[in-house]
Amino acid sequence: MPVMSGPHKKITSAEFLLWPDDGKRHELIDGVHYVTPSPKFSHQEIVGRLYLAIGNFLAPRRHLGRIILARFDVVLSDYDVVEPDLLFLAGDQRSILTEANVQGAPALVVEVLSPSTQRRDEGIKRELFDRKGVQEYWLVDPKNCLVSICRRAEDTSFPVVSTLSAAADEHLETPLLPGFGLSMSELFAEIMID
């Protein structure tokens, strides 16, 4: 749900980052404030599985980068601050990581879709990540057991390059993590969906 402060006033990231933490997920996209309700169990289960799989893969390969679990701010501009479910900073992106937040576009952003965020994740957030130079964006759909992957192309476009299915037992892989693979059927095994 967007929340505007005053008529047509864009909120800056500097103003936004001064707000006290109330335990809710707040994001700023093009100067518009969004508040998201707490996620459901299935959402958290999938985020946890992805974090563990990537984290375990990176443990002996720390030179490849770091995986960061929500809640952690990503400051993309003076009017854009988001909190992805997961983000991956490649080994050459250490300079954009601070103790408080990430200052720039991560190599990989992961969002697990929920009814309250799906339109935003598939629409304005995808457009934002495209504009700001994210290399890869995973949209994880727990209801349909799918993962759609947007990947930066050589011509700088940001198309959906594949949609992977648990039903077909496909494997989630990325050139950002050479050698990483996760079975889609394992990712979505026994997920409870309301």
Confidence of residue 116 (pLDDT cuts 50, 70, 90): confident
153-181 pLDDT, tens digit per residue, is 999 999 999 999 999 989 999 999 999 99
Indicate whether this model's pTM tops 0.95: no
The structure tokens listed for 51 are 């974090």
Residue with the bigger pLDDT between 194 and 40: it is 40
Are 82 and 74 in contact by the 8 Å Cβ rule? The answer is yes
Q: Concatenate the DSSP letters of all residues of 58-105 into one string.
A: HTT-GGGEEEEESS-EEEEETTEEE--SEEEEEGGGGGGB-SSEEES-
Domain range annotation of the chain: 39-187
* Chain centroid offset of residue 150 CA: 12
Confidence (pLDDT) at 158: 97
Would you identify the CATH topology of the domain 39-187? Answer: tt1808, chain A (3.90.1570)
Confidence (pLDDT) at 7: 58
Separation between Cα atoms, residue 107 and residue 152, nearest integer Å: 10
4-32 pLDDT, tens digit per residue, is 444 568 999 999 888 888 877 889 999 99
